[in-house]
Structure 1
Amino acid sequence: MKIVKIINNNLIQSFDNTGKEVLVMGCGLGFKRRIGDEINKDKIEKVYALEDKNYSNKLIALLSDIPLEVIQTTNEIVSYAKYSLGKKLNDNIYILLTDHINFAIERVNKGFQYKNALLWEIKRFYNHEFLIGKEALQIIKKKLKIDLPEDEAASIALHIVNAQLNFNNVSETMDITKMIQRILNIVKFHYNLELDEYSLHYERFITHLKFFAQRIFNGSEIQDEDKKLYEIMRERCREAYLCAEKIKKYIKKEFKTELTNEEMMYLAVHINRITKQTE
């Protein structure tokens, strides 16, 4: 690869062997170099694909202003998250998480206290991502010599969840988290009982609610397929359907979305399982 543009000593624009525009990062990669020079492969730490113009402009602006060690630390956290989850993450995480970690460090250095209002919910609904967030704090401590509070582990977890859902804004992931909590509260109040949060059925219900909420926010839905099965399950799980009707009203009021019979059936089945087990 040859240098097309030098952003700073650590960032260079180039083209890969397929002709796609890329941003290449590495300590001292652009130092005393000229356009047209071959890039020193031994110094390359990260190559960012610049397929989307809007994304590339944001990435270049961000990485130009943030200290290299913060960028390197974020890249290590994202790599660890991908490995731990065994999943591909939306490339937007490089922009959003780098910006967040840099801001979090500035906040701590200025002595500001940060409290994540969704800390408890994130621990419960996104436990794997939260544990990755806690590991991220250890990486930050080791690399940058700074201690961030546990609340930041929850924020990092939200960014990871956001990248899995392919959302462009973490606020959408926060809204999904609030929706899940609201639905669980509807179930608790309808049955007047506490749910067993350590049960397998509870874990499956949370997983269902994550995808359910994602469909609501994406505007997609499960289509009605088997009306006969719907009627049978409605008869078998009457109380669960009454509870699901309350969830249906909540979704319609808050998100202007009408749930299909298929969605109602799946909700009722999960509600029936989790409440029967708890009772």
Structure 2
Amino acid sequence: MEIKKVFNNNVVLTQNSKGQEMVVMGRGLAFQKKAGETIERDKVEKTFVLDNRGISDKIGELLREVPDEYLTIADRIISMAKERFGPGLDDYAYVALMDHISFAVTRHKQGMILRNALMWEIKKYYKEEFSIGLQALDVIEEETGIRMEEDEAASIALHLVNSRVSGEGLDAAVQIVKVVNDTLNIVKYHYKMELDETSINYERFLTHLRFFAIRLVRQEKTEVPPADDFMFTQVQTRYTEAFTCSEKVASYVEKTFNWSISKDEKVYLTIHIHRVTSRCQELNRQG
């Protein structure tokens, strides 16, 4: 293995037979070595194959400031997430988690405990990511001996949410949570009811809202072709109450984000609102 760049005595940049960049770790594997020299394979303990060539430089820059144990922690968390969600996590997650966790541990040692303002929303809307965040607390404790608060599990979950929407930036992940939460509140206030969070229709609605929020944050437009106006007219007529509610959501989105909802989005939004509320209305009438 030829060294392309030495990050520290334990971490170097190299590449595999496919030409992909790899960050390679092992105790003392780069001691007194420089670029162009080779490293002994028996000293390699971990490898990280990177699709994004720019990420290796960011990892190297970060390793000048934080111990390489945080790369190990980040890798363990990302491996758990990939087992749960598949391979679609952005490489930048290594950098984001390394940086966040090292700073969080430093703050914890100084007695600075920061509360996550989105704790409730993250636990509710991103249950799987939060579950990984809780497991991440165990990993951090194993590697550093420090037990972090659940607020950190929520923060780690938010980084995973961010990574799964292709590195839009942490602000985007926060914005996605806000859109989902605000839209649900609009529906609840419009119908003056609590939604059945255990129902399959609620889960479907939540999934739809997440992707809706991602498209909003990315400012993606998917305008409906004129031929589909028939469907728009049908839902407007058939689901009058749900359509009125979807108009309130559209007004909120336009005022808050300066983004107009397309007709096809209103169709799907109306249908989901109808499905998630009609069951609750039926139960209320029976009660």
**If the TM-score is normalised by the length of the shorter chain, which range does it land in?**
over 0.9
**What's the CA shift for 1:272?**
0.6
**Cα deviation 1:203-236 (Å, max 9, x = unaligned):** 1111000000111111213331411111111111
**What does residue range 67-86 of structure 1 map to in structure 2 within 5 Å?**
67-86=67-86
- Secondary structure at 1:38's aligned position in 2? coil
Q: Do 1:161 and 1:173's aligned partners in 2 also have CA atoms closer than 8 Å?
A: yes
**TM-score for the superposition, normalised by structure 2:** 0.91
Distance 2:251 2:14 in 1: 53
**What's the CA shift for 1:59?**
1.9
In structure 2, the partner of 1:100 is 100
Q: Do 2:51 and 2:91's aligned partners in 1 also have CA atoms closer than 8 Å?
A: no
**What's the CA shift for 1:24?**
2.4
- Secondary structure at 1:65's aligned position in 2? coil
Distance 2:192 2:234 in 1: 26
Mean CA deviation greater in 188-197 or 79-88: 79-88
In structure 2, the partner of 1:254 is 256
**TM-score for the superposition, normalised by structure 1:** 0.94
**What's the CA shift for 1:35?**
3.9
Distance 1:124 1:50 in 2: 32
In structure 1, the partner of 2:136 is 136
In the alignment, does 2:239 pair up with 1:240?
no
In structure 1, the partner of 2:165 is 165
- Extract unaligned runs of 5+ from structure 2: 282-287
Q: Do 2:90 and 2:164's aligned partners in 1 also have CA atoms closer than 8 Å?
A: yes
In structure 2, the partner of 1:89 is 89
**What does residue range 1-279 of structure 1 map to in structure 2 within 5 Å?**
1-42=1-42, 43-49=44-50, 51-53=52-54, 55-225=55-225, 226-279=228-281
Mean CA deviation greater in 117-126 or 217-226: 217-226
**What's the CA shift for 1:51?**
4.3
Give the count of matched residue pairs. 278
- Secondary structure at 2:64's aligned position in 1? helix
* RMSD of Structure 2 on Structure 1 (CA): 1.6
- Extract unaligned runs of 5+ from structure 1: none
Distance 2:84 2:51 in 1: 25
Mean CA deviation greater in 263-272 or 224-233: 224-233
**What's the CA shift for 1:5?**
2.9
**What's the CA shift for 1:172?**
0.7
Q: Do 1:25 and 1:46's aligned partners in 2 also have CA atoms closer than 8 Å?
A: yes
**What's the CA shift for 1:111?**
0.4
